Structure 1
Amino acid sequence: MSNRARPRRSTRRGSTRWGVTSVVVAVLMVGGAGTAYALTRHRTDNSNVATPAPSSTADARATSPGADDRLAASAKSSSTAKASPSSTGIPADAAKCAYTPTSDGSTGRSIQTPGAHPKKVRSHVTLATNYGVIEADLTGDVAPCTVNSFLTLARKGYFTGTQCHRLTTDGLYVLQCGDPSGTGQGGPGYQFDDENLPTKSRPAYPRGTLAMANAGPGTNGSQFFLVYKDSQIDPNYSVFGKITKGLDVLDKIAAAGSDESNGPGDGRPKQEVTITRAG
């Protein structure tokens, strides 16, 4: 993913706030130059429309939180069958991932591209923050390339000491993290395709979802978001985990509010949120 743009309020048509009848709900900015993509709220007539808003600034392709087929539904038992070796020496249940180099590596934080053949297995991750500990089960069986990248970054210390740079509190309810630059413009120096999009889930992103932020199809990188309240946006963001512990931590962060620097209900957390350890 090329998470290159600082979050900012998207161009709006109609209401200036995210209401049930407003066209635009919010954007999780992680983009490059040129076009800002505005995610819309799921309407009562079941028409999800993503309205591209042209931008002359280099600050954004917008994106909103990740996509999950109701994580509870995709999270079956965590047992995985043993892989049988293939003729290439790669386990038969391994995925083939393509991580494409980009120019958005955050200063001092670019990292070696993850291996291309992760096993399709479930795993667990712990994010320690200055607010408390958040734990999640990762769905490597349905999002192997995403989980492979996330764990590679976590285990290499990519997220350690970084701030969660965005909190949305009106219509879209997420905490966005994963950019060492803290601007919404940073990334790991590579991008990869979408996985496990929640096209049949209502809401698309329920409370407890862990998903990737992006700048458009196939631009996943390091930025991710955690959903603290059911959010119905277009299912364009890869869901790769479910929070199993620490939702109360997210609630505390959300209760402190955002500084609304990107518009009503959208900005940096008022109280700094730092990931002190990930793995």
Structure 2
Amino acid sequence: MTTQPSPIHRKARQVKRKHWALIAAATVLPLAVSTGTAVAETPSTGTAAGAACTYTPAVPADNFKGIPVFDAKRAAKPYSATLRTSQGAITFQALTDKAPCTTFSFRFLAEHDYYDRSHCHRLTTQRIFVLQCGDPTGTGSGGPGYSFPDENLEGATYPAGTVAMANAGPNTNGSQFFFVWKDTKLSPAYTPFGRITAGLDVLQKIAAAGEDDQNNPGDGYPNLFVKIRDVRIAKR
């Protein structure tokens, strides 16, 4: 492919010992999440940046911590998040002004310990350059029990240091996200919601160690195990 790679969707995987087999058929390195069908319940809604912020109940609901109730006043407050991982700390500034629904959801999950003791399940080292995390099942198909719409896509780019949502198609965001460790060309389909302020060197160390997929080189489980010990939110 001469221009840009296939979209990033949360790709479903199965693990047997340390080997990951691709379930979802794809061409080149989609960053995907396999999700189930939304259940029929009343969503919680709010308004941010002139648009509705809606969290719709959905399956799967792994490590379920509940569904956030959007608070526009709290959503507007800036914060940074530090992920303490087994390979070092990564800190990013949340783009609360550009992606309030997304950053509100991330803070909700972090404050409810959703990400604690999970691990990053996917590293890409060819054509797109990301470390994908946020699935407590470690399979690439897990979710928090709700979904919400895309944001901040107009003119979106993905330089090194970007933090963005993985998805299973338009408006299917959940808990999975990715760190961009090297400038990457992607279609503007993945909500950017943070900028790394410290720890890019940690990501580059993880990337340098490579991934273990022999059948699809450049896209697999990171050779350096990346466990998220906890996520700490700091007000700015």
Short-chain TM bin: 0.7 to 0.9
Q: TM-score, normalised by structure 2?
A: 0.80
Summarize the Cα distance change of 1:174–1:271 in structure 2 as closer, same or farther, 3 Å threshold.
same
Q: Which protein is richer in strand relative to its size?
A: 2
Conservation of the 8 A alpha-carbon contact between 2:124 and 2:218: yes
Corresponding residue for residue 249 of structure 1: 202
Moved more, 260-269 or 209-218: 260-269
In the TM superposition, what are the counterparts of 1:82-101 in structure 2 within 5 Å? Answer: 96-101=52-57
Q: CA 1:221 to 1:192, structure 2 compared with 1: closer, same or farther past 3 Å?
A: same
Distance 2:141 2:178 in 1: 15
| Contact 2:12–2:23 under 8 Å retained in 1 | no
- The ranges of structure 1 where at least 4 consecutive aligned residues each deviate by more than 4 angstroms after the TM superposition are 9-12, 90-96
The one-letter code sitting in structure 1 at the alignment partner of 2:231 is A
Report which of the two structures shows the higher radius of gyration computed on alpha carbons: 1
Aligned to 1:26: 29
SS in 2 for 1:103: strand
Report the TM-score, using the length of structure 1 for normalisation: 0.68
Query: What is the alpha-carbon distance in structure 2 between the residues aligned to residue 178 and residue 96 of structure 1?
Result: 24
Structure 1 residues 11 and 248: alpha-carbon distance in aligned structure 2, compared to 1, 3 A threshold: same
1:5 paired residue among 12, 15, 18: 12
Deviates more, 1:109-118 or 1:131-140: 109-118
Q: Tell me the CA shift for residue 221 of structure 1.
A: 0.3
Percent identity of paired positions between Structure 1 and Structure 2: 48
Which digits, 9 at most, give the CA deviation of each residue in 1:76-100, with x for residues without a partner? xxxxxxxxxxxxxx99979742100
Partner deviation per Cα, 1:18-75 (whole Å, 9 max, x = no partner): xxxxxx54111212379xxxxxxxxxxxxxxxxxxxxxxxxxxxxxxxxxxxxxxxxx
1:188-245: CA deviations, max 9, x gaps?
0000000011x435xx210000000000001000000000001101110000000000
Matched residues, number:
207
**What does 1:1-279 align with in structure 2 at a 5 Å threshold?**
5-6=12-13, 8=22, 11=25, 24-32=27-35, 96-106=52-62, 109-118=63-72, 119-197=75-153, 199-201=154-156, 204-260=157-213, 263-279=216-232
* C-alpha spacing 1:214/1:153, structure 2 compared with 1 (3 Å): same
Question: Superposition RMSD on alpha carbons, in Å?
Answer: 2.6
Tell me, which stretches of 5 or more residues in structure 1 are unaligned? 13-23, 35-89
